[in-house]
Structure formats: C-alpha cells, structure tokens
Amino acid sequence: MIQDRKKSGFPAGLQLALAFIGVAPLALPAQAATDVARDVWPVLLRRDLARVGHVEWRLRRAAGAACPVQAPDVGVVLDDRGAYQKRDWPLLAATVKMDEHPAVASVAPGSPADLAGVRAGDEVLALDGVSAETIIARRPAGTVVADALLDEIARTAPDKAVVFDLRRAGAVLQFSVVPVRHCAVRLVLFTDRSIEAHSDTRNVAISTGMLAFARTDDELALAAGHEIAHVINGDRRGAPAKVRRGMEDAADALGLRLMECAGYVRATGITLFERLGSRDWLGFLRARTHRSWKDRTQSLRALPPATACPVAAP
C-alpha cells in the first residue's frame, strides 16, 4: 500500500471516480474556481479517466501472464451517464456529448481498439450483436454499466474478435477488434483527497489525491505498479508487521520492473517516493509495515534494470 493521508478530506472507499466533481485545483479565485469546476468537471474527469486508462493498459501488458488471472482486453475506458446523478445528465450531454448510450471515454494508444479505429467519444450501441441495453439489463445488481461492458469483452473466447457497433457524429460504424490476453487487474479511481493507492485480490484503487499528486505518468505508474505487484504476489493483509514489510519491499521491486517493462522512466517514477518522503520528514505518515521513504528510494535506485519483459510469474 502507498499512503499519505495528510490531505484527507473525503471519506475513503472503493467508489468510482464517475461521482467525483472537481478534479485538480484551478488557478482561480475560490468562487470563480467553484463556478468553473461546476461547468467543466466532466471534461476534467474524462481527462483523468484517460490518464488512468492509458497507464492501466501499459502495466497490464507489462504484467502479461504473471497475474493470477488473465483476461481479454482491447484498451478502452467506457463511461455511462447512469453512473451520475440525473441532474448532471444535461451537463454531460453538453460537455462530453454523452447521452443515453454508453460512450468510449478513452482509447489507449497502440491498443487493439486504437488500431481498429475506435475513438474516444464513440457511442456504444452493441457488442457482438448484443445491444448495449440488453447487456445493461442483465448485469448483476450494483454493477456499473462500464464494468458490465468490459466484463462482456473479458469473456471473449481466445483469438475471437469483438465486434463493436458504434455511433460517431450520427453515423453508425462497425469495428472488429481482436483483444489481447494479459493481466486482468483493473485500475479504479476513487474519490479521496488523500494520496493513496491500495489493492485487493484483483483490482487496484487509486485516489484522486494520488492522481493529482503524481506529476508524471512515470510516478503514477510506479504507484499503480506497486499495487499490481501485491496482486501478482498474492499478498494478504493481516500478516505480522515484519512479514508485511517484506511484502512491501517485494512489491516495490516488482512494481519498478513493471513500470520499466511498460516503457516508463524509472528515475522519473522514483521521484514519487522522494516527494512523499519530503512531506513526511518526521515519519508520522508511514505505517510500521513500510520502511522509510528514503530507504525505499535508495533500494529502488540500487536495483538493476528490468531485463525480462513482460514480467515473469513469481
């Protein structure tokens, strides 16, 4: 776990960022910033969802078959107005052009969807001939529409193309996209001003505070890679502090390899730990299960460059 709760203000929880209003602070007077954020938060949110989605795609590719579960993936982030309050629907239509159908929020560069011609803003009408409405209607209670559609893609048989029926600028288009099969871990953005990332057995949660704090995608990739490493290693909470510290050390090392294999720059990524350490010079924000930020930074710098990519299973 990577955590710094100095900026805590929102309740923590695995809540999708689709409910988050007001992303990064704006360089405007307080009232003006509030008015601007009220009008443009869907655009800012799309930007942040795209950033997380691009990092997720690259790290999942780098992890390859090392994760305990693999799944087909095409490299898209999907969005749906049903994840928002109805009073926000007119604003969503006006700002990000999202209406009654789910939409492609972003497409990872170089992904199967990107190579096939799928583009951000496309409306999703059907997958493999099954209408989006049908997929939405049969999803389990409490499942977000975007997750239901991604789960549909993840159930695709190996080497089988997924046929997307999309609407773009009023025209209905069809794209055949052949997924790749790699690590099934997804990155989930949740609303919390604290600088935090944590994981369960299959997903990684990244706080909006962490997203704002990470100056580069290299830093964000190190944080996310650390948590994916916990999933790969099968780490569980509740272990004694000494054992847990060993888990954290191993996750640091594997997370660095993941980000390097994903094409991110190690020196730039490690600055995340340096900057977290500068905020915590008395050690108040560090759990007993973690070494000091200084020690963790030095250990990462001493590691040899990654050689085997994708990362091999432990």
Tens of pLDDT, residues 67-83: 999 999 999 999 999 98
In a domain, 313, yes or no: no
Please give the pLDDT value at position 27. Answer: 31
Q: Using one digit for the tens of pLDDT, what is the confidence trace for 262-303?
A: 999 999 999 999 999 888 655 545 566 778 899 999 999 999
In a domain, 7, yes or no: no
In a domain, 10, yes or no: no
Q: How far apart are CA 29 and CA 109, in angstroms?
A: 36
Please give the pLDDT value at position 3. Answer: 53
Under the banding of pLDDT at 50, 70 and 90, the label for residue 59 is very high
CA angle, corner 211, sides to 80 and 237, nearest 5?
95
- The verdict on 160 and 116 lying in the same domain is yes
Q: Using one digit for the tens of pLDDT, what is the confidence trace for 112-126?
A: 999 999 999 999 999
In a domain, 273, yes or no: yes
- The residue-averaged pLDDT of 231-257 equals 90
Last-in-domain residue among 182, 202, 233? 182
In a domain, 71, yes or no: yes
53 has a pLDDT exceeding 50: yes
- The verdict on 41 and 151 lying in the same domain is yes
Q: Using one digit for the tens of pLDDT, what is the confidence trace for 127-171?
A: 999 999 999 999 888 888 999 999 999 999 988 999 999 999 999
Cα separations (Å) of 148 from 40, 107, 143, 161, 256? 27, 18, 7, 18, 31
In a domain, 111, yes or no: yes
142: CB partners within 8 A, 6+ apart:
none
306 exposure class (CB count in 10 Å sphere: 0-12, 13-18, 19+): middle
Closest C-alpha to 313, from 252, 213, 242, 229:
229
Q: Using one digit for the tens of pLDDT, what is the confidence trace for 165-215?
A: 999 999 999 999 999 999 999 999 988 899 999 999 889 999 999 999 999
136: CB partners within 8 A, 6+ apart:
80, 82, 102, 145, 148
- The verdict on 152 and 225 lying in the same domain is no
- The verdict on 191 and 261 lying in the same domain is yes
Please give the pLDDT value at position 5. Answer: 36
For 277, the token pair is 């350490």
Last-in-domain residue among 126, 150, 182? 182
308 has a pLDDT exceeding 90: no
C-beta separation of 205 from 199 below 8 A: yes
- The verdict on 148 and 191 lying in the same domain is no
- The verdict on 72 and 155 lying in the same domain is yes
- The residue-averaged pLDDT of 227-235 equals 95
- The verdict on 48 and 176 lying in the same domain is yes
Domain limits at 114?
15-182
70: CB partners within 8 A, 6+ apart:
181, 182, 183, 184
C-beta separation of 144 from 16 below 8 A: yes
- The verdict on 196 and 91 lying in the same domain is no
In a domain, 191, yes or no: yes
- In the chain, pLDDT over 70 holds for what percent of residues? 85
Closest C-alpha to 116, from 60, 70, 75:
75
- The verdict on 36 and 141 lying in the same domain is yes
User: If you average pLDDT over every residue of the chain, what do you get?
Assistant: 86
Please give the pLDDT value at position 238. Answer: 75
Count of structural domains within the chain? 2
In a domain, 311, yes or no: no
Last-in-domain residue among 144, 161, 182? 182
- The verdict on 215 and 155 lying in the same domain is no
244 has a pLDDT exceeding 50: yes
23 has a pLDDT exceeding 50: no
